Amino acid sequence: MTGPRMIPDCVIPLRDEHAQKQSTRQLLADVFPSWNIDRIDVMSLKGGITNCLLKCTYKAGTPQEIVVLVRAYGRGTGSIIDRNREFCTHVHLHSFGLAPPLHARFKNGLVYGFIAGRSVEYHELSNPMLTKGISQLLAQWHTVLDAKAIKTLMLEQSGLKSHDIVDDIWQLCQKWISKLPTDSDAQAKTKAVLAKELVWVKNEIQYKGGPTVVAHCDLLSGNVIVPEDWSSEKLANMPPVTFIDYEYSLPTPRAFDLANHFMEWQGFDCNVSLIPTVGGPMMREWGKQYLEATHIFKRGSCEKQQNGVPVREADIDLLMQEIRTWWGMPGFYWGIWATIQAVISTIEFDYANYAQIRLSEYWTWKQDYLSAKKLNCESNL
């Protein structure tokens, strides 16, 4: 197959399990004409809170076994996620060996290669061997991926003009805020407050997050894949790590991707005790490994050196300051997102409460940020 198949009329149902499996089998028979539809097994996977993920196995248990994934988008998610960007980002990632092959795109989802392994648990994200693998792979993303190449592919695929494409996190947040409901006075007030906050936070931190990179933007534990038999108790080995799910990938300052990943250490349970301290020993070591790997990939070497490239303490200090400055943005970003999901999603998840929790992270950060700014001003008087 020279490229992903386009099957624009196929729709995979989200709720009716029987119809879902039947539609998925027919889809795969169209994508892979040599497959016998009666030999395709379909199993629903859990993990995400927006999409339906199906593991599909052809000729299970035989030497000819082939496994692919079918992802059907959650209802209404197209209004907050640019599916064309997701598709083009996946194609670009695959060209670097950073994503599985993309077999097909249908009306409400994708068919792509299966990565053997398991997603990690959020309490494993602090494991020293896992942090090393994640930091090095994220450094590769941030160094070798080309935002301009992805945008060029998007323009070719969509026929849109350049100014029609959301290019950064500020434009995306503005788009999301415009979609917030205003059915009640409380909702209208929330929308107005967040619109005002977006202007303020953009003016404050826009250019303080380091270089703009192609960021994952959703690097939670469920999107980090390791070998099935790897255990967080086995500290002696660093597992090969793969990132999945690129629907939120976007050019952003690197500090957002890093801050967001560290915030995800708390999991959906919002166990804040697991979030590392900004500038603390654990985060500094993570940052050191990230910067070492960044230097390696900038020099054109894809081989991991045992001791990496020396990184100055001043470089780590700067990275920590970037993260500290952007520490409130993940809460702001996901707070807006969850407020929309509370209205459009059919998935059983308390988005409204999650929105409040995440936005409270932003308000706490803002208070700390303004206090530090005031102290800095007074010390300079």
> Phi first, then psi: what are they for 171, rounded to 5°?
-65, -40
In this structure, of 167-176, 224-233, 372-381, the range with the lowest mean pLDDT score is 372-381
Contact 216, 243 (CB under 8 A): yes
| Residue closest to 286 by CA, chosen among 165, 126, 148 | 126
Return the pLDDT at 217.
98
196: number of Cβ within 10 Å: 11
pLDDT digits (tens, 9 = 90+) for 295-347: 999 887 544 444 556 899 999 999 999 999 999 999 999 999 999 999 888 77
Q: What strands lie across the sheet with 52-58, from one edge to the other?
A: 5-7, 102-106, 109-113, 66-72, 52-58, 40-45
Return the pLDDT at 48.
59
| Residue closest to 287 by CA, chosen among 322, 263, 248, 253 | 322
Q: Is the pLDDT of residue 1 over 50?
A: no
Return the pLDDT at 65.
97
Task: Choose between 308 and 165: higher pLDDT.
Answer: 165
Query: What CATH class is the domain 5-113?
Result: alpha beta
Return the pLDDT at 82.
95
Mean pLDDT along residues 351-370: 96
Calpha distance 241→133 (Å, rounded): 6
Calpha distance 340→99 (Å, rounded): 29
Beta bridge partners of 113: 68
Token code pair at residue 76: 């209404």
5-113 and 119-372 in the same fold: no
| Residue closest to 133 by CA, chosen among 216, 287, 241 | 241
pLDDT digits (tens, 9 = 90+) for 105-133: 999 999 999 999 999 999 999 999 999 99
pLDDT digits (tens, 9 = 90+) for 194-219: 999 999 999 999 999 999 999 999 99
Contact 258, 211 (CB under 8 A): no
Q: Would you kindly state where each structural domain of the chain is located, as residue ranges?
A: 5-113, 119-372
CATH of domain 119-372: 3.90.1200.10
pTM for the structure as a whole: 0.93
Calpha distance 87→68 (Å, rounded): 16
pLDDT digits (tens, 9 = 90+) for 44-74: 986 555 688 999 999 999 999 999 999 999 8
pLDDT digits (tens, 9 = 90+) for 232-283: 776 568 899 999 999 999 999 999 999 999 999 999 889 999 999 999 999 9
Task: Choose between 284 and 348: higher pLDDT.
Answer: 284
3-state secondary structure the chain: CCCCEEECCCCCCCCCHHHHHHHHHHHHHHHCCCCCHHHEEEEEECCCCCCEEEEEEECCCCCCCEEEEEEECCCCHHHCCCHHHHHHHHHHHHHCCCCCCEEEEECCEEEEECCCCEECCHHHCCCHHHHHHHHHHHHHHHHHCCHHHHHHHHHHHHCCCHHHCCCCHHHHHHHHHHCCCCCCHHHHHHHHHHHHHHHHHHHHHCCCCCCEEEECCCCCHHHEEECCCCCCCCCCCCCCCEECCCCCCEEEEHHHHHHHHHHHHHCCCCCHHHCCCCCCHHHHHHHHHHHHHHHHHHCCCCCCCCCCCCCCHHHHHHHHHHHHHCCCHHHHHHHHHHHHHHHHCCCCCCHHHHHHHHHHHHHHHHHHHHHHHHHHHHHCC
* Mean model confidence pLDDT for the chain: 92
Return the pLDDT at 159.
85
